Structure 1
Amino acid sequence: MKNKTLWITQTAVLVALIVVIQAFTASFGNTFITGSFVNLILILGVGLIGLWGGLSVALLSPIFAFFFKIGPTMWQLILCIAIGNAVLVLVWWFVLGTHGYNQYPRLVGATIAGAIAKALTLYLLIVKFMVPLILQLPEPQATVVSATFSYPQLVTALLGGAMAVILMPQLRRILKIKLEM
């Protein structure tokens, strides 16, 4: 029971942290700043809490962002963003497992693979599927949504991963984290 309570608390703290970061950085109007920090928190979630904590943060954060009117205001995109976040978390988990968080080559590999996988997922789901087939937005709005979910997703996932490469080993050492899942 103690471990489950700790897991719920840690997950809730990371979801709250993402919402606060999104709310604070949204005022800058810069997708690169907001997205990079969101991706950092997603990666820290999987690295500090584990797969299920990371996935929970990945899936819940776009829901809270939508309700707090942070980021895209189209409810149809929530699931796509959640899937993109989950892909990032899953790639990090599969590349690093429970033991690769102190190995810089594996951390760099997770950063690159995770960024490509997330960007490709969001591009296919939103730019190639949602915008033309489901949303049927007017051209100016379709262009803006498509631009947001194309190369900026790769850049922000790479930046978030780069910050995680720097922070993850130190945080895991300080917090004495040993994932055994």
Structure 2
Amino acid sequence: MNISKETQNMITAALLLTLAVMIQILGKSIPQINQLFVGPIVNAVLLLAVYFSSVRWAMLIGVLTPLLAFFTGVLASPMAPFIPFIALGNFLYVLIFSFFRKQRFGESIGVLTASLVKFLFLYFSATILIDLIAIGIPQPVKEKLAVSMGLPQFITAVLGGAIAIALYKMLKRRISSI
């Protein structure tokens, strides 16, 4: 059977998206470790999509993961107005990593730069931007949002990037030896 490269990319992206959603749902059942468990894996999935599908598919996964988290009940309904910010943070993470990844030391620089930009964007959005555009998130939710969109975002993005790079290198060696 002859399957086009774009079809293969789409199938791989669909499998990675399914993995991300399943991890989000699993993480909801373990709330004590949710962000530190789910965050790195979802970020790893985003970068694995860059490697194995394409930047375009990875960006789509980045936009869909917060939406699907909301629709599956993983993301609380008071957080719904923040979904576009999370999606854009994921989009930036993928875009910046993909820009650096093929340069010398690019994967490491890409992960660090993408993680920093994602963190800064999400923290700025959670602490300043949502008040400027008055999107109506209740104050207690804003306070929790500011904490969860702070330093934990940088940590989970860096960890996810490290996981993705390690998995990619292992899988690349394994696939090339077949």
Q: Normalized against structure 1, the TM-score is what?
A: 0.85
1:94 aligns with 99
Select the residue among 80, 96, 102 that pairs with 1:75.
80
Whether the 8 Å contact between 2:46 and 2:58 is mirrored in structure 1 is yes
1:26 aligns with 28
Check if 1:118 corresponds to 2:118: yes
Shift of 1:107: 2.0
Can you give the 5+ residue segments of structure 1 that lack an aligned partner in the other structure? 177-181
Shift of 1:89: 0.4
Range with greater deviation from structure 2 (12-21 or 131-140): 131-140
* Aligned residue-pair number: 171
Whether the 8 Å contact between 2:9 and 2:52 is mirrored in structure 1 is no
CA RMSD of aligned residues (A): 1.9
> CA–CA distance in 1 between the matches of 2:131 and 2:173?
44
- CA 1:2/1:117 → structure 2, altered by over 3 Å: closer, same or farther? same
SS of equivalent to 2:74? coil
Check if 1:153 corresponds to 2:153: yes
After TM superposition, the structure 1 = structure 2 runs for residues 43-58 of structure 1, keeping only pairs within 5 Å, are 43-58=47-62
Letter in 1 for 2:83: I
Q: Normalized against structure 2, the TM-score is what?
A: 0.86
The percentage of aligned residue pairs carrying the same residue is 27
2:42 aligns with 38
Letter in 1 for 2:168: M
Select the residue among 58, 61, 65 that pairs with 1:61.
65
Select the residue among 8, 11, 15 that pairs with 2:10.
8
Shift of 1:52: 1.1
> CA–CA distance in 2 between the matches of 1:40 and 1:14?
10
Whether the 8 Å contact between 2:46 and 2:62 is mirrored in structure 1 is yes
Shift of 1:69: 1.1
Select the residue among 12, 17, 20 that pairs with 2:19.
17
Letter in 2 for 1:58: G
Can you give the 5+ residue segments of structure 2 that lack an aligned partner in the other structure? none
Runs of 4+ with deviation above 4 angstroms: none
Whether the 8 Å contact between 1:131 and 1:146 is mirrored in structure 2 is no
Range with greater deviation from structure 2 (139-148 or 17-26): 139-148
1:109 aligns with 109
